[in-house]
Amino acid sequence: MKGMIFTSFLEMVESKFSLKIVDEIIEASELPSGGSYTTVGTYDHNEMIKLVVELGERTNIPVPDLVRTFGEYLFGQLLEMHAYFLEENNSVFEFLQKVDSYIHVEVRKLYSDAELPAFQYDNSIDGTLIMTYRSSRPFADLAEGLIIGSIAHYGEKIDIKREDLSDDNATRFVLKKME
């Protein structure tokens, strides 16, 4: 997992909780990296899991809620870094359908060793986008938070239903435009 994800997570923890909590979760997690991350480095995703579990223990916030919140926060970070791409798309559905074909392609140009999730899309039902998320890592909550962040950015009224599938760490998100 790229270091940019770790540094953004720790920035979120500091801004929403405190620098003291950041230090506590790093210390308690006993991380191989020591909790020292560079944005371009690559780190074991299990370190993120340890950090989030430790944060959950200190805040009494369920881990899935923390990861979703981080996804929303991360969307804001990505928006700051790549505002031009979001401006090129006029809607949530248009933007989300380009995650694999554009965003992940650009990420791979910068980080050839990045292990990214994959999405499959079905927009055959008018006003509905079905996204199937697959990843070798258990971060569907992060994907959901990023989706929520994109909906907030575009200001559209969209209902999200989530279904965890039994195969290959897959999750289906059904997004429906609300009248």
Q: Helix, strand, coil: what percent of the chain each, to 5?
A: 55, 15, 30
- Residue partners of 4: CB distance under 8 A and separation at least 6: 39, 40
Q: What pLDDT, on a 0 to 100 scale, did the predictor assign at position 86? A: 73
Phi–psi pair at 127, nearest 5 degrees? 80, 10
The strand pairing partners of 164, in sequence order, are 171
- How many angstroms from the chain centroid is the CA of residue 34? 23
The rounded radius of gyration (Å) of the Cα atoms in the chain is 16
Q: Which residues of the chain have pLDDT under 50?
A: none
**H or E element in which residue 152 lies:** helix 140-154
pTM, whole model, 2 decimals? 0.90
Picking from 31, 18, 87, the residue whose alpha carbon sits closest to that of residue 6 is 31
Assigned token pair, 88:
């090129």
Q: How far apart are CA 1 and CA 116, in angstroms?
A: 9
Per-residue confidence (pLDDT) for residue 105, from 0 to 100: 67
